């Protein structure tokens, strides 16, 4: 363990301000439990930076936009590059290379096999904040995507990682209807777990966003009945592919995207500027080299591409509708004013494809009906594509699975009426997904055990509580000269103040470090590595320190995800 870091964290907690005096006591009576704040965490799966109306989208998201008007919106909030590393960090406040997701499951390079921190599931070197909340009287629950453990290993299920109640899709994705369509050809079906039992079948009217919201309402009601504060994790699988929406909503956006992704990018860039989430100086970034210009597509290809985006937009609109149901339920129960609500995405928009996996293309062709008329329905399997993913990730470079800003910078809003920064404000400084767990714990008046939990050694949190900043006690969450780093599939990023250094393999990068000034070039169009060698070297040194502190092992070869699912000629 890093002794200096442990001391620093301990001193921080000793000096931190608790906002609820009833939480300072070790005795938790029924009366003061109910006064403690509730926490509702809502995560959309693969939602791009400009996919919400309050971030510049044309998609109708009135409920989330209304929440944003009462929230702090962040424009420089960063996650991990893909789903499971982000979720593991989110639940623990601990770097992915410590919590088990130094790489994702089944994407190990030879030199990563068997290493601590590279298990491919949420390991037991960490303790989740829901478990700590549960220990102190909270009703904890989750509905939706898990993606942090094997469906075959019950000890890795949510019910054994701190959740009182759970209804979860255990794998990383799947069909959104009752048929439990798997995500990959080599998986028999998508598996759902209700607490400790696998669901044999789903109701015929099942649709992911609707049923996850139904469960959120059910679990919140349970906490009210039990007279306990709650933490609920509403973990949507929308708008992750396969893109599907109930038949009555398939045509919600019919014809809206016929002008193509380049035209959509222009529209969103201007709307994002008007919303205040994209700097005024920003120009339209060039298309990524794996994106075919819209005019280069054949008429049939344009039709199918437009339909894909229509379905994607409809999925987001339905996600917004069901989010609105949950928020209204909080109001109806009188719990809204005492609930911290966070809405966020888990990484950038998804421009990757599974078609590169052996046998997958044949499986899709023979199993599903992807004709134009059937796209988005139960027996279809549709992906978003690189062009729309780039438009959704504007104004940033690349998208999910990359260490660039398009992969890790996402929309987020924080709503809690009792804190100073509760109104319609926008904040531009760097904040990390690592900062959520310590924020939740401090808000609830619960301390992290630091290095030992119930007889086992655990890592302390890497994140910093946002509460002093949200309360107006500090001007920033992190010092401007603090370095933040991440890595996945060998792709590396280091952020310090206005500077961002990145390393990506060819053909996405040039197999060497690049440098960008994000204060002038948020789209990362101008590599300053040659003209600012001293700055670059400083960030490379920060990267080396990060590697040593977190036992990072960069893969000795490209992994399956990086080589087979992304580059499509």
Which residues are marked as active site? 83, 147
CA distances from 548 to 39, 106, 110, 122, 545 (A): 35, 24, 20, 21, 5
Cβ atoms of residues 433 and 79 within 8 Å = yes
- CB-neighbour burial class of residue 95 (10 A; exposed 0-12, middle 13-18, buried 19+): buried
Q: Which residue has the tokens 């134009």?
A: 372
Judged by DSSP in three states, 226 sits in: coil
Q: Which residue has the tokens 């920064």?
A: 421
Cβ atoms of residues 104 and 120 within 8 Å = yes
Contacts with 396 (C-beta within 8 Å, 6 or more apart), sequence order: 49, 285, 348, 404, 405, 406, 409, 522, 523, 524
Q: Which residue has the tokens 């790489």?
A: 103
Nearest to 431 by CA among 466, 386, 382, 398: 466
Number of residues that make up the chain: 569
- How far apart CA 563 and CA 109 sit, in angstroms, is 12
- How far apart CA 386 and CA 406 sit, in angstroms, is 12
- How far apart CA 266 and CA 269 sit, in angstroms, is 5
Three-state secondary structure string covering 131-178? HHHHHCCCEEEEEEECCCCCCCCHHHCHHHCCCCEEEEECCCCCCCEC
- How far apart CA 534 and CA 532 sit, in angstroms, is 6
- How far apart CA 298 and CA 100 sit, in angstroms, is 44
């Amino acid at each position: 363990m890093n002794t200096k870091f442990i001391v620093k964290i301990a001193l921080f907690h000793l000096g931190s301000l608790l906002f609820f005096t009833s939480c300072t006591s070790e005795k938790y009576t029924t009366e003061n439990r109910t006064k403690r704040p509730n926490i509702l965490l809502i995560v959309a799966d693969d939602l791009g930076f400009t996919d919400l109306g309050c971030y510049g989208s044309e998609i109708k998201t009135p409920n989330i936009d209304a929440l944003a008007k009462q929230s702090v919106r962040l424009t420089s909030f960063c996650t991990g590059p893909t789903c499971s590393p982000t979720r593991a960090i989110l639940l623990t406040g601990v770097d992915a290379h410590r919590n088990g997701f130094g790489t994702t499951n089944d994407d190990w390079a030879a030199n990563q096999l068997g290493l601590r921190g590279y298990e491919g599931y949420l390991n037991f070197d960490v303790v989740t904040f829901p478990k700590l909340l549960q220990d102190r009287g909270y009703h904890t629950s989750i509905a939706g995507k898990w993606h942090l453990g094997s469906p075959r290993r019950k000890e890795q299920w949510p019910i054994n990682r701190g959740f009182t109640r759970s209804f979860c899709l255990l794998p990383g994705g799947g069909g959104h209807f009752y048929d439990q369509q798997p995500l990959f050809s080599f998986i028999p079906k998508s598996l759902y777990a209700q607490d400790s039992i696998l669901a044999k079948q789903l109701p015929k009217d099942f649709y992911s966003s609707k049923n996850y919201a139904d469960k959120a309402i059910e679990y919140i009601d349970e906490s009210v009945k039990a007279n306990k504060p709650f933490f609920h994790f509403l973990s949507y699988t929308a708008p992750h592919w396969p893109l599907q929406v109930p038949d009555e909503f398939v045509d919600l956006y019919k014809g809206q995207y016929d002008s193509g992704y380049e035209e959509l990018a222009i529209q969103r860039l201007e709307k994002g500027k008007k919303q205040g989430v994209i700097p005024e100086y920003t120009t339209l970034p060039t298309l990524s080299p794996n994106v075919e210009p819209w005019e280069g597509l054949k008429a049939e290809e344009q039709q199918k591409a437009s339909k894909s985006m229509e379905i994607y937009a409809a999925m987001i609109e339905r996600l917004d509708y069901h989010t609105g149901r949950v928020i209204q339920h909080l109001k109806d129960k009188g719990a809204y004013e005492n609930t911290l609500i966070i809405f966020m995405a888990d990484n950038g928009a998804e421009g990757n494809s599974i078609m590169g996996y052996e046998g997958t293309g044949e499986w899709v062709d023979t199993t599903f009906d992807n004709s134009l008329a059937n796209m988005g329905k139960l027996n279809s399997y549709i992906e978003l594509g690189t062009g729309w993913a780039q438009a959704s990730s504007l104004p940033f470079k690349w998208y999910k699975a990359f260490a660039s800003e398009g992969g890790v910078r996402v929309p987020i809003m924080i709503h809690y009426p009792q804190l100073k920064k509760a109104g319609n404000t926008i904040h531009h400084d760097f904040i990390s997904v690592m900062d959520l767990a310590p924020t939740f714990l401090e808000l609830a008046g619960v301390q992290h055990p630091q290095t030992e939990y119930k007889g086992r050694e655990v890592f302390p949190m890497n994140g910093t509580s946002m509460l002093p900043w949200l309360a107006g006690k500090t001007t920033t969450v992190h010092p401007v000269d603090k370095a933040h780093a991440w890595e996945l599939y060998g792709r590396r990023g280091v952020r310090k103040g206005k500077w961002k250094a990145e390393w990506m393999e060819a053909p996405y990068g040039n197999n060497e470090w690049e440098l960008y000034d994000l204060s002038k070039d948020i789209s990362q169009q101008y590599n300053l590595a040659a003209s600012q060698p001293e700055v670059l070297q400083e960030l490379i040194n920060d990267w080396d320190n990060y590697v040593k502190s977190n036992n990072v092992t960069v893969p000795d070869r490209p992994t399956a995800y990086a080589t087979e699912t992304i580059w499509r000629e």
